[in-house]
A and B are shown apart, each in its own frame.
Chain A
């Protein structure tokens, strides 16, 4: 799985950080998403999929291999 984020779309709702804190963080100045791991391990895939599903700004895209 490859995770791609779009910082321009992100609205800082923080849902991805709650669901997969190993993969997503927020930058201090405005809460916009920061990607910690582009290729998360398999045990995090469900959480990452859920983060992409609930992101209100459609700012997380997943390329599943």
Chain B
């Protein structure tokens, strides 16, 4: 009896389930967890779960915690991810110095001045999509008509991937971020994307282009710093990351604002770009769409948050809970676009913190400052209770968002 109670079966399962009545809030069981506890994941492993803000930052800033998914004890997300990471090893699952070497080849593309230079073009794309939506039938699905095309068009132009192929790579991407995708299907989707991008790399070798993939081909591949496979792997990572995150922030953020009409009105009427930028940070904090936890494994015995984590023990950092920690954010469950939320950990923390964050911020600033001004009567076309949330995806959001005006 005692053995059963103290065994892994007695530990709470992770990921936990949200309360369907509070779709913007992290799971109640997660919020009730001790700052550091143990959970059971799909394969029976029992990693640490860390929910408080300060300890999460301490772990993510400490490179003795490894991001290498192949290390024993690493709390892998799912069987599909385990299978895929045996062959696909992008820099997000590597440690320094190799992680740093590869990441630095891409950082220049996301420099603040480069991203700012893209703002007028993003504004143009956003306005064009809104024009098309206004000219089309009502109600419209904001996800397919707007939230997904915005980041998709932007990342395609940045990478140098033909947008005409978006049905193909969006379908691959969707399979790769669904928690429920069987391992063989995820492997196939990853392989399809790899073959597609290898062809694209080959095309850019023959006819050079001035875009992110083109520059990797002309510089790092030509000099031997990266192989053809490395470039395809990086491109695949950028393509998926560029789609699944910003798109969900646009649709879920709009839904959250529709539920807080006084704050939506302030954003709509704002002349101050500072207020828009502040609202973006708060929505990133409040919604924290990457809701499956950042994950690490200890490479040695490490004392953190007053506890000893042993070498080989896995750690899951629940960023969604950390962003609702009242010691870091007073009244954390309240959406408040005026609050100081800049220190949120929605993009993670430490050396692996989101590389595309300047681009995500800029896109969201353009979207939130334009959509509600252009369509001031925007409203949900179905009852709120009928909205389908992405409980089953690695990145949270809504499957569709029927809107009218």
Give residues in A with beta carbon < 8 Å to B.
11-15, 17-19, 21, 26, 28-32, 50, 53-54, 56-58
Contact = CB atoms under 8 A, between A and B. Distances in A.
B100 A11 contact: yes
B104 A12 contact: yes
Contacts of B353: 11, 13, 56-57
A31 B350 contact: no
B260 interface: no
A12 B351 contact: no
Contacts of B103: 11-12
Interface in B320-347: 342-343, 347
B61 A14 contact: no
A19 B342 contact: yes
Nearest to A8: B100
A31 B351 contact: no
B222 interface: no
Interface string B89-122: 0000000000010011101101111010000000
Given A11-B100, A14-B111, A17-B112, A56 B350 contact: yes
Nearest to A11: B351
A31 B342 contact: no
A14 B108 contact: no
Given A26-B111, A56-B350, A57-B351, A14 B342 contact: no
A57 B60 CA distance: 10
Contacts of A17: 111-112
Nearest to A28: B108
A40 B357 CA distance: 26
Contacts, number: 67
Nearest to A31: B107
Given A56-B348, A56-B350, A57-B350, A14 B343 contact: no
B112 A26 contact: yes
A21 B277 CA distance: 15
Contacts of A15: 357
A31 B349 contact: no
B358 interface: yes
A44 B104 CA distance: 29
A56 B351 contact: yes
13 contacts: A13-B347, A13-B358, A14-B111, A14-B115, A15-B357, A17-B111, A18-B361, A26-B112, A26-B113, A28-B111, A54-B342, A56-B348, A58-B61
Contact of B110 (A21, A28, A31, A32): A31
B110 A12 contact: yes
B108 A31 contact: yes
B107 A32 contact: yes
A14 B104 CA distance: 13
A56 B112 contact: no
Given A11-B351, A57-B351, 8 more contacts: A11-B353, A12-B103, A12-B104, A13-B358, A14-B111, A17-B112, A30-B107, A50-B343
